[in-house]
Amino acid sequence: MGKIRQAGDDGRTMQTRHQPGKAAWMALLGVLFVPAAVNVYHAQSPTQVSAVPAVRETSIQREARELMVREQIAARDVRDQRVLQAMLEVPRHLFVPPELQPYAYLDSPLPISHEQTISQPYIVGFMTEALKLKPEDRVLEVGTGSGYQAAVLSVLVREVYSIEIIEPLASEVAARLARLGYSNVKVRAGDGYRGWPEAAPFDGIIVTAAPDRIPHPLLDQLATGGRLVIPVGKYFQTLNRVTRTAKGFKTEKLLPVRFVPMTGKAQK
């Protein structure tokens, strides 16, 4: 178990303390030394991660992302090579405000618009790995936030459906994902407690805010063999993985966490 992982928004995680390494220094150096931007195309990899849209980035941003994956995620027992490759390819700095881009690859959540946050990279990696995703899967995300988690999912699976309860944020992020070329992600505004029934069943569901109890509509929308990864609790929270079997549901408690409360119907 170890340390409590805290949460912000689309992991809605605040932070697990981890000693900053070279990645932090590389990200900060981007403030002082910004070489000319280069066009980078990330093609299909042998780990079966879908091609990521072309992005415009600096060599420092690329190196900082490589260090983030190596020092903050792989070094802390996230082993799924597809997940690591996806996080290596998705440009996290494009999901934070421009003034915070030099800090995008630090081991920390960062504020985004509408008083929300982008999650700590480690939490994104851990929760994504816990879903045990396959390329043909269809995934529901509850809590779109910055869109970063949805982008990571989009290069791992066939389709992503993402719900955000803050309507202006949902509109903003849908435009961002479309602009960046993540064409297999559908975003809508709504109460994630109810899920997305007309698109169900899902092979994976990931929830980035904590209800007091697991919403039954989300369980109903899991395919047989599907996995739901969700933080549950009020003052003391646990990240759970629920797998739907032919006979019912199997629940595993993964680690202690601290997420913001799920709003909407979950609070009633």
The string of DSSP letters for 175-228 reads HHHHHHT-TTEEEEES-GGG--GGG--EEEEEE-SB-SS--HHHHHTEEEEEEE
Query: Containing H/E element for 83?
Result: helix 81-89
Q: How confident is the model at residue 235 (pLDDT cuts 50, 70, 90)?
A: confident
- Higher-confidence position of 47 and 142: 142
Report how many domains make up the chain: 1
What is the pLDDT at residue 27?
Answer: 47
What is the pLDDT at residue 39?
Answer: 33
Q: Over 50: is that where the pLDDT of 148 sits?
A: yes
Catalytic residue selected from 108, 119, 146, 162: 119
Q: For all residues of the chain together, what is the average pLDDT?
A: 86
What is the pLDDT at residue 21?
Answer: 56
Domain range for residue 26?
5-267
What is the pLDDT at residue 41?
Answer: 26
- CATH classification at residue 74: 3.40.50.150
What is the pLDDT at residue 4?
Answer: 47
Q: How confident is the model at residue 220 (pLDDT cuts 50, 70, 90)?
A: very high
Type of residue found at 265:
K
Count of Cβ atoms closer than 10 Å to residue 45 Cβ? 17
Q: Does the predicted model carry a pTM greater than 0.75? A: yes
Q: How confident is the model at residue 161 (pLDDT cuts 50, 70, 90)?
A: very high
Catalytic residue list contains 171: no
